[in-house]
Structure 1
Amino acid sequence: MERGVFKLTSAKKIAASLKRSAEHSSRRKAGAYRSALSMLTFYINRAGKTLPETQRTRLERAKVELKRAFGRE
């Protein structure tokens, strides 16, 4: 995974980076979509209440973009 991926300003860029990371990973047990979504959800949950609302909104939008990127709309 790229460094600072969750700090990117665009939800599309975050989704693209997570997709790239998940597809190139040889350690995943589930599919690439599930793996990418898991990374994103883990980050959101781990940050908890300390995550600024603007960043949380961006990351939630990244979930939608991730779905589009994998053709699961």
Structure 2
Amino acid sequence: MARSSKKKKWSHAVTDNSDALDLEIGIFKSQDPKAIADSLKHSAEVSNRRKSSPFRSAMSMLNFYINRAGSHLSKQQRRTLEAAKDELRKDFGRDPK
């Protein structure tokens, strides 16, 4: 039995309609890791619906996007998103890896 397209696209709906963060449209397509990190930080800090710290919420959303995009990410975009993790750590005063 084939799955309906709605069931296949649940992760897209999460990144578009996250209950915890109001994300900037298309932020994960940016080529600038600092811009991605800054946008996630801002979204996490202004959200009053998140359940954990702003850092954890922002990092969780970034990891979620990387994991769900999987093999559909280009090598360059994956490097950019991985670099955004380090920028996010810096933005929150944490040690980058």
| Identical-residue share of aligned pairs (%) | 58
Taking structure 2 as the reference length, the TM-score comes to 0.74
| Cross-structure match for 1:8 | 30
1:35 and 2:57 correspond:
yes
Larger Cα-atom Rg: 2
Shift of 1:69: 0.2
Runs of 4 or more off by more than 6 Å in structure 1?
Answer: none
Counterparts of 1:9 and 1:2, CA distance in 2: 14
Unaligned runs of 5+ in 2: 1-22
Choose between structure 1 and 2: higher helix proportion. Answer: 1
Taking structure 1 as the reference length, the TM-score comes to 0.97
Amino acid across the alignment from 2:28? F
- RMSD of Structure 2 on Structure 1 (CA): 0.5
Amino acid across the alignment from 1:70? F
Q: How many residues align?
A: 73
Q: Give SS of 1:48's match.
A: helix
1:26 and 2:48 correspond:
yes
Unaligned runs of 5+ in 1: none
Of the two structures, which has the highest relative contact order with CA contacts closer than 8 Å and spacing of 6 or more? 1
